[in-house]
Structure formats: C-alpha cells, structure tokens
Structure 1
Amino acid sequence: MNLAKKNHVMILNRGSRVNCIPVLHERALNSKNIEYYKNVQISILKNDPDDGIFVDCKTSQGVLNLHINYLVFAIGREPNRDFISETVQKNEDTLQKKGLLYIIGDVKNNIYRQTAIAVGDGIMAAMKIYRKMREKK
C-alpha cells in the first residue's frame, strides 16, 4: 500500500484465489493507484534497452501488454522460476547490478525459508527501488 502512495502499482495474480488478509485486499481494490488482475499468466519478460521491462501476459480477457519500470514477484513457498525467459535468466546478474531485477525470499535463499528473511529481503528491495526512483526525479 505504501508503494502505491506515489506510484502506479499493478498486481498480477496467476489465479483467482487471494492469499492476503481481506482488509488488505479491499484497500488495494479501492486504491486509485492500484490495478488488480486475476488469472494472469506472464508469458514474456523482455528488457527494454532504454528503460524498464516489457511484460506480455495472457488473461481470461485476452492479451495484456505492459511496459513497466519495476517488477516484484511473489511466487509462493516452492521456488518457481520456469516462467522467466532464458534471456532474463542469462542476464540475471547484469539486471540485478542495474537495479532492474531483485530476487528475494525462497528463490534467493534456498533452504532458508523463513518469513522474517523473506520480509527483510523484500524491505531491502523496496528501499533500493524507492532510492532509485527518488534519484530519477
């Protein structure tokens, strides 16, 4: 919710089930700066050499093409990276160094699957994104 105070946020849910507390979901739906999409399958992630990331998605309503500045994934307890294109995987280190890709939680920490560690990773990524956004203004 804090990120949406000064930014446009899109939430892409791969299913229709919502896994957060109801009041948080309600606030997100009522926020003018948050768009929520359910049943979305990300099919292509492509680096924009000028700035940002192209994201192509399949939805129940058709194709959704996005151009975004940052992408944050919450992919569940079991690390699942098979949807990430080979290009992104090959350039993972470069994208991380440029501050275009942040890997956190179970995907980053393997057997250290503790909520506190994942939350810390998430907070650090959010702080880095926030700093980068402030520097651009």
Structure 2
Amino acid sequence: MKIYLFLLSSFLLFIALSSCKKEMQGEVLPYTLTENNGIVGKWLCTESFDTYDRYWQEANLKYTTQLEFSKNGEYLEKGFQDNMIYCEGEYEVTDIDSVWINSSCYTSGYKQAIDELTPTTLITVQGGIHGPVYIKYKAIK
C-alpha cells in the first residue's frame, strides 16, 4: 500500500511541477510582428537585461509598454493592463546611436541611447542601479 501512495504522490508532484511555466513563455503576442523603417513605427517591449542579473528576462505582457515613433516626429508610449501609462510628446534622432525624447510623462526631455536598431529589433540602454539596463523591443503592426 505504501508503494502505491508513493507512486501516486510522485505522479501528482510531477504533474504539478510540469504544469508550471513563466507567464509570457508560450503566450501569444496580441500583435503581429513586422519590420519597421528605422526607428519609425510601433515597438513592443519584450525583454530586458540588467547587467547585475546578467540574463535576458522576458517582459510580462501585463506590465509591458509600447512605443510609437511617427514620421513627423511625434512620440507615444503606452502601457497595458496593470501598467496603464500614457505619454505623448515628440522625438528627434540626434545621433546614429541616440534619440531625444520630450514626453508628457517627464518634466523635461531626455536622451535615450540606442544599442541596436534593425527593421525588427530596437534595443535601448538606460542607467540602472548596478549598471546599464538594456530594453529590447520588437517591431509590431
């Protein structure tokens, strides 16, 4: 009888552990991925890399943000579900590796460093407590 209880509890433990997963892993994005022309377009935050932790961490869709850069210099940042921010403003690409953003969410404009910009990926860099923090965005429709 003890062997049956042991096997049953082992099976239930295996089922419980195998059903656990990270929140975004396997989650369907609410947008279609696309390619943007330079920085112009919509970008969805998908991952971040803190130099203290030293690994890419997936962004939970409940707390992620979307950036939008228009051709005429308008800037928009908005959040979803539990991250309900909404910022409007303007932007200007000042160097090949940075963009100046003047947003309604901040009292003054700021310079955002760009680490990588391809038609499908935008990676920005900002200061963190333990060093730079990299934020990865994917181009969306």
**Bigger strand share:** 2
> Which protein has the larger Cα radius of gyration, Structure 1 or Structure 2?
2
TM-score (norm 1): 0.28
State the structure with bigger RCO (CA 8 A, min sep 6), 1 or 2. 2
Between Structure 1 and Structure 2, which shows a larger proportion of helix residues?
1
